[in-house]
Structure 1
Amino acid sequence: MFARKIIAASITGSLFSVMLGLIAADPFAGEVNSAGEYFQGATMSIPFYLLYSFPVILVYGTVTSLISDYIAIFISNKTNRKLEFYISLFLHLLFGLILLGLSLAAAVLFFVTDNLLRRKQIGGWSNALKSLCLPVLIWIVLMGGVYLMDV
């Protein structure tokens, strides 16, 4: 279960950073006047978002997701086994309220990713270690793009 959570954190952190970079392409710039400016802003902001959000999603998201799942399993075993999904969803949302909008979006994305991985039965430590290459690869590619834009 822990290995699957690490895979979910790697995917979630990468997707969250890319989506945030596409939504808020350059939070420090003013108005974007062209597609080129938007692309440049997104390319520059995604590594920034990845650098700060991925460690939080990896540590906080993994720990709180494990806690949520264990509590949901415990409660559903005592009451109704069919409630496990909903209890886990509620706890993920509750833990995701720490920073309101952004962290709630990350919590929902983590929950969806983890449940998809659970259904597909994807896990294992080798896959977890491989999944940690995804955010690193995205960061390297986009920083290479930033370098090429500056040259």
Structure 2
Amino acid sequence: MSFQSEISPILSRKIISASISGTTFAIVLGLFIPDPFDVGIRSLGEYIRELQISVPGYLIYSFPVILLYGTIASMISDYIACFISNHTHKSLEIYFSFALHVLFGLVLLWYSLLASILYFITDYILIKKNIYKWSNALLSLGIPLVVLILFFGSIHIVDMFG
């Protein structure tokens, strides 16, 4: 088996994982920290408005990092975990991989730690579902774009009627 045929399905799965976990990360961060500049939220309407603004902001800045750094770090984590588990216990590979994902995720403390854990969980689910086609990987890159359009569109609609 050649290096390219071995790495291709892994890379496509990692891109799908990055698309899903990066988008999820931005939404979760927006739900819990809708006011990153601590302006102050006094009502539900202000919370929703800040959420509509913060999620695209988080997505625009975090998604490229998760896609590039997260994919590279995840691939390295998986290969190191595979190497270690081949020399110890094969059944521990998932735990070694998780520990390495956490280690790579400590770059920006809890922000990147949350992103790395979401990435790991998403990737683990995709492994179980056996999803790794390049067509799925390319389609998954539309997920963050659709979320951006939805959030920017909701801001526009609210401004139109408000």
Q: TM-score, normalised by structure 2?
A: 0.90
Match in the other structure for 1:54 = 63
CA distance in 1: counterparts of 2:76 and 2:118, whole angstroms: 17
| 2:99 pairs with 1:90 | yes
Identity %: 52
In structure 2, the residue matched to 1:70 is 79
Work out the CA distance in 2 between the residues paired with 1:90 and 1:141.
Answer: 35
Q: Which amino acid aligns with 2:140?
A: S
1:109 to 118, 127, 137: 118
**What are structure 1's unaligned runs of at least 5 residues?**
none
Secondary structure of the residue that 1:49 maps to in structure 2? helix
CA distance, structure 1, for counterparts of residue 52 and residue 110 of structure 2: 23
Query: What is the CA RMSD across the aligned residues, in angstroms?
Result: 1.0
User: What's the counterpart of residue 137 of structure 2?
Assistant: 128
**How many pairs were matched up?**
151
Tell me the equivalent position of 2:4.
none
Equivalent in the alignment of 1:138: 147
Q: State the alpha-carbon separation in 1 of the partners of residues 53 and 40 from structure 2.
A: 16
Deviation at 1:148, TM superposition (A): 2.5
Counterpart in the other structure of 1:19: 28
Runs of 4+ with deviation above 6 angstroms:
none
Does the alignment pair 1:34 with 2:43?
Answer: yes
Aligned to 2:6: none
| Residue 128 (structure 2) pairs with residue 119 (structure 1) | yes
- Which residue identity lines up with residue 125 of structure 1 in the other structure? W
